[in-house]
Amino acid sequence: MRTILFLVQKEFLQIRRNKMMLPMILIMPVFQTLLLSFAANYEIKNLHLGVVDNDLSPASRQLVSKFTASGYFQIKDAGFSTAEAAEDLARDRTDLLLEIPANFERDLVREGHASVNLTANAINATKAGLAMGYAGGIVRDFTPPVPAPAGSRRQGVEVVYSNWYNPRLDYKTFMVPGILGEIVALIICFLTALNIVREREIGTIEQLNVTPIHKWQFILGKLLPFWILSLFMMTVGLTAGWLVFRIPIEGDLWLVFLYTLTFAPTMLGLGFLISNFAESQQQAMFTAWFFMIIFILMCGLFTPVESMPQWAQWLNTLNPVKYFVEFMRLVLLKGAGFAEIRQNLMTVFAYAVVVNGLAVWTYRKRA
């Protein structure tokens, strides 16, 4: 242990002297949490709305007013030609087309219901889906300024929604916990890979290779400082998320730090494994980024894992970031306890053992 402590002391001295590494540890977690939480947002506003009102009645005008008053839509074009409105949609001048047929108000008075036509520009499927969701909600809640026909009941059932775990449907509440997990995984994997390859490039690692220390001592001495720093980065990220976004912390914080201690060796071992085969910092960076971009895009941060194809869901069982993002949302938002995250924790622990075992096995003392 005395040998490992000397190695840990050496690593902290190198981290303190490295002008690039300290900003990555101190500034990047806060900067990325703030930037991604504001930018990565599926709540779309200022959608361009095209309107073709063939009725020009008080009911149709009120329906159009509800669209503009919602805060999600801005009328980009209003006219009487469906062909011209469709052309605007095709040329990306509008995102959604609302077409109100003639006799709209008359049908409401006589029959108690009427139809409208909604057409979305679905080049961006996510944007189109949200636009249709907003528009569908506005149309369903529309109460026309006309008397109900005799003997009819417009509202037989009242639907009351109750949103659990995120009552205000604030997208930042959903995103920030996942972003924190992704940032910790990304930074510690990059730092480990680049740190070891940098030592190889400048020749200082050869001084360690000629000493009688064992491989496991060398790797443990290299990984322990970044293991400790992962807790620091998680603390900084949680503090920034709570102060700026007021994210709820329903679960126990000790679970968060316990899981971080278990998860960090997985990414540290992966970074060390990459450094064993990389000959330069550039090569290590591109290799680490190759894996991390796959992990991030498939971890469920931006796209639900359940909506992926079956083969992608099977492949995702090898994605360590997926387990971290899932854990952060379970504990911080739902208040899950140890029993609920135990399987997740055991999977990550097994992952860490395998990856670090491979790192030790593939490391060679080279002259």
Distance CA(26)–CA(242), nearest Å, equals 17
**Which tokens belong to 141?**
């809640």
Distance CA(193)–CA(85), nearest Å, equals 54
Instruction: Verify that 54 and 13 share a domain, yes or no.
Output: no
Instruction: Verify that 118 and 95 share a domain, yes or no.
Output: yes
DSSP-assigned beta bridge partners for residue 79: 52
Intra-chain end-to-end CA distance of the chain, in Å: 26
Instruction: Verify that 177 and 31 share a domain, yes or no.
Output: yes
Instruction: Verify that 206 and 126 share a domain, yes or no.
Output: no
Q: Is residue 346 in some structural domain?
A: yes
**Which tokens belong to 339?**
């029993």
Instruction: Verify that 14 and 95 share a domain, yes or no.
Output: no
Residue finishing a domain among 125, 140, 155: 140
Residue finishing a domain among 116, 140, 164: 140
Residues 6 or more apart whose CB falls under 8 angstroms from that of 41 comprise: 171, 172, 175
Residue 57, domain extent: 47-140
Q: Is residue 35 in some structural domain?
A: yes
Instruction: Verify that 240 and 356 share a domain, yes or no.
Output: yes
Residues 6 or more apart whose CB falls under 8 angstroms from that of 153 comprise: none
Distance CA(144)–CA(152), nearest Å, equals 14
Q: Is residue 333 in some structural domain?
A: yes
Instruction: Verify that 102 and 188 share a domain, yes or no.
Output: no
pTM above 0.75, yes or no: no
DSSP 45: -
Instruction: Verify that 190 and 283 share a domain, yes or no.
Output: yes
Distance CA(320)–CA(155), nearest Å, equals 49
Instruction: Verify that 332 and 208 share a domain, yes or no.
Output: yes
- Work out whether the CA dihedral 274, 279, 281, 283 comes out positive or negative: negative
Instruction: Verify that 254 and 120 share a domain, yes or no.
Output: no
Q: Is residue 163 in some structural domain?
A: no
Instruction: Verify that 283 and 196 share a domain, yes or no.
Output: yes
Distance CA(44)–CA(42), nearest Å, equals 6
Distance CA(229)–CA(188), nearest Å, equals 8
Q: Is residue 145 in some structural domain?
A: no
Q: Is residue 240 in some structural domain?
A: yes
The helix (H) or strand (E) run that includes residue 25 is: helix 21-26
Which CATH number fits the domain that encloses residue 133? 3.40.1710.10
Total domains, the chain: 2
Distance CA(136)–CA(72), nearest Å, equals 12
Instruction: Verify that 237 and 314 share a domain, yes or no.
Output: yes
Residue finishing a domain among 140, 163, 180: 140
pLDDT in tens, the chain (367 residues): 677 777 777 777 777 777 777 777 777 777 777 777 776 666 677 889 999 999 888 888 888 999 888 888 888 888 888 888 888 888 878 889 999 988 888 888 887 778 888 888 877 766 788 888 888 888 888 776 655 555 555 443 444 556 677 777 677 787 888 888 888 888 888 888 887 787 777 777 776 667 777 777 777 877 888 888 888 888 888 888 888 888 888 889 999 999 999 999 999 889 888 988 888 888 888 898 899 989 988 888 877 787 788 888 898 899 999 999 999 988 988 888 898 899 999 999 999 999 988 888 887 755 4
Q: Is residue 165 in some structural domain?
A: no
